[in-house]
Amino acid sequence: MKRIKLLLMSLMVVLAASCTTEDLDPALDQNKDANGGITDVDNLYAVIKGAYSRMTASGYYGRDLIITNEVRTDNCFSNGNSGRFTTQAGFAYSNTTGFFWDEAYAVISSANLVINTDLTGLEGDMDYGRHLQGEAYAIRALVHFDLLKQYGQIHVTGGTNPGGIPYVTSYLSNESSQEELFPPRNTVEEVRAKIFEDLDMAYDLMEDTGDTNFFSKYAAKALEARVAVYFEMWDRAVDAAEDVIDNGGYSIVPAENYVASFGSDGGSNIIFELEFNSTDNQGINGLAYIYRTTGGGSYGDVQVLDEVADIFEPTDVRGLLDGENGILGYEGDMLRNMGKYPDNQGYDNVALLRYEELILNYAEALMETGGDALTQLNKIPANRGASLYTEATKENILLERRKELMFEGFRYDDLLRTGSDIEKTSIQQNFAATIPYGDSRLAWAIPLAEMDANSNMVQNKGY
């Protein structure tokens, strides 16, 4: 019987009792049968490491998810230097274009293996085992959230029903049920509820370890604040953000350290980041290689729209900084992201949860609930060499989000969650005309291979 491709990506793990986690290559540790292989809590750690490693793939956070969410906005475009990302930037993708569907469900499968393991049958520290299961719940929530935003039809008018994505909670085996093997799409509301359930479990199970390369208690809360803002659940966003602010011990990077902070690991503002080591770095398929040419040695397909320079003041470290390179800079006459992900070989860690984003989430939620949003909003420009705001409006908050989070993959989500059109503002953009909110192209097609393998899967409108 043909199984759903999504579930064929289910990862199987063998961890010989004689192996330690140091013996395992995190990119290769999930290739064999799991039956009898999980005997110790440390084995679960190896599976978690494998899940993080899969998230660093160039098809996921290693490049494609971030870049695709930039080139479809008023931040960036593809100049076609090597032919990369012109399809995505032109909203011309189809059910065979390829995106991060397979990588995402592979990560989810790893998380499910850890979540569904009975700790009482293992050797080792049970408290640590519960913490690892908490990490797995947080990973599962994040990846389903990513899938929902890209493949779900939240913002498509008259989309197919149900318009969510399959929320997979089982680790597959020969005993799996037909519905587990061929899962239908959940509704958007069901996926949202399951994400919050997983984040609640993550928070309850985890400790605050202080290791930013792994999910922690307050990283789960920071993610909860992000999800709550996306779905306009403002009270929940306020509560989650305040938990992190009051207990996490994080701080905003000051202006003088801002640019350099993207070339170093960790830092007072990092809540959770993916580590890129010798195994995980993407080299020529990484973020730096696509953002810059580095003297002609890199692809440099993703260029910044010329007009973007004008949204920054001359003293703002995120802009040109009095004509010199801040985050923005020039290669010849091409405006570029010069400061974020600066290592051309792809060894820079990729921050998925920064404290600055949390503060902006908090400011927006406070504005929506009648709190002191202005104080929170102004914490960001006060540390960037930029003028303070006199009023906390939706427009000002979104502008500050654009400035602070540019090149990190947030802009597309911000436009859609606020019901905005994808405006044609520059001749440099790859799409021909403004794409109205509700257009079917705002959601990706379910991959053709998935459609062929799963009779319960429903394709998105327009594909």
pLDDT band at 34 (very low <50, low <70, confident <90, very high): low
Whether pLDDT at 462 is above 60: yes
Is the domain of 10 the same as that of 138? yes
Is the domain of 388 the same as that of 441? no
Give me the phi and psi of 351, to 5 degrees please: -75, 125
Q: Please enumerate in sequence order all residues whose Cβ is within 8 A of that of 318, keeping only pairs 6 or more positions apart, or say none.
A: 258, 312, 326, 327, 328, 384, 386, 403, 404, 406
Is the domain of 420 the same as that of 442? no
pLDDT in tens, 161-209: 999 999 999 987 656 777 778 999 999 999 999 999 999 999 999 988 8
Q: Among residues 342, 336, 289, which one has the least CA distance to residue 309?
A: 336
Whether pLDDT at 36 is above 80: no
Average per-residue pLDDT for the chain = 91
Is the domain of 239 the same as that of 372? yes
Mean pLDDT of all residues in 219-225: 98
pLDDT in tens, 12-21: 433 333 333 3
Q: What is the CATH number of the domain that holds 1?
A: 1.25.40.890
Residue 31: per-residue pLDDT: 35
Q: What is the CATH number of the domain that holds 288?
A: 1.25.40.390
pLDDT band at 312 (very low <50, low <70, confident <90, very high): very high
Is the domain of 152 the same as that of 240? no
pLDDT band at 378 (very low <50, low <70, confident <90, very high): very high
d(CA 106, CA 340): 28
Residue 13: per-residue pLDDT: 37
**68-77, 177-186, 374-383: which range is least confident on average?**
177-186
Question: What DSSP letter does each residue of 344-408 carry, written as one string?
Answer: TTS-S-EEEEEHHHHHHHHHHHHHHHTS-HHHHHHTTGGGTT-PPPSS--HHHHHHHHHHHHTTT
d(CA 259, CA 327): 6
Residue 339 DSSP one-character state: S
Is the domain of 129 the same as that of 244? no
Residue 102: per-residue pLDDT: 96
What is the extent of the structural domain holding 458?
1-60+100-204+435-463
> What share of the chain has pLDDT > 70, as a percent?
91
**248-252, 284-288, 345-349: which range is least confident on average?**
345-349
- 70, 74, 79, 82 alpha-carbon torsion, rounded to 10°: 10
Is the domain of 292 the same as that of 426? yes
pLDDT in tens, 397-432: 999 999 999 999 999 999 999 999 999 999 999 999
Q: Which residue has the higher pLDDT, 7 or 117?
A: 117
Residue 21: per-residue pLDDT: 32
| C-beta separation of 124 from 42 below 8 A | yes
Q: Among residues 328, 252, 288, which one has the least CA distance to residue 75?
A: 328
Pairing label, strands 302-304, 270-274: unpaired
**Count of domains forming the chain:** 2
Mean pLDDT of all residues in 335-350: 93
Sign of CA dihedral 49, 347, 144, 59: negative
Q: Please enumerate in sequence order all residues whose Cβ is within 8 A of that of 225, keeping only pairs 6 or more positions apart, or say none.
A: 237, 240, 241, 244, 358, 361, 362, 365
Number of CB atoms found within 10 A of residue 254's CB: 15
Length of the chain in residues, anyone? 463
Is the domain of 123 the same as that of 262? no
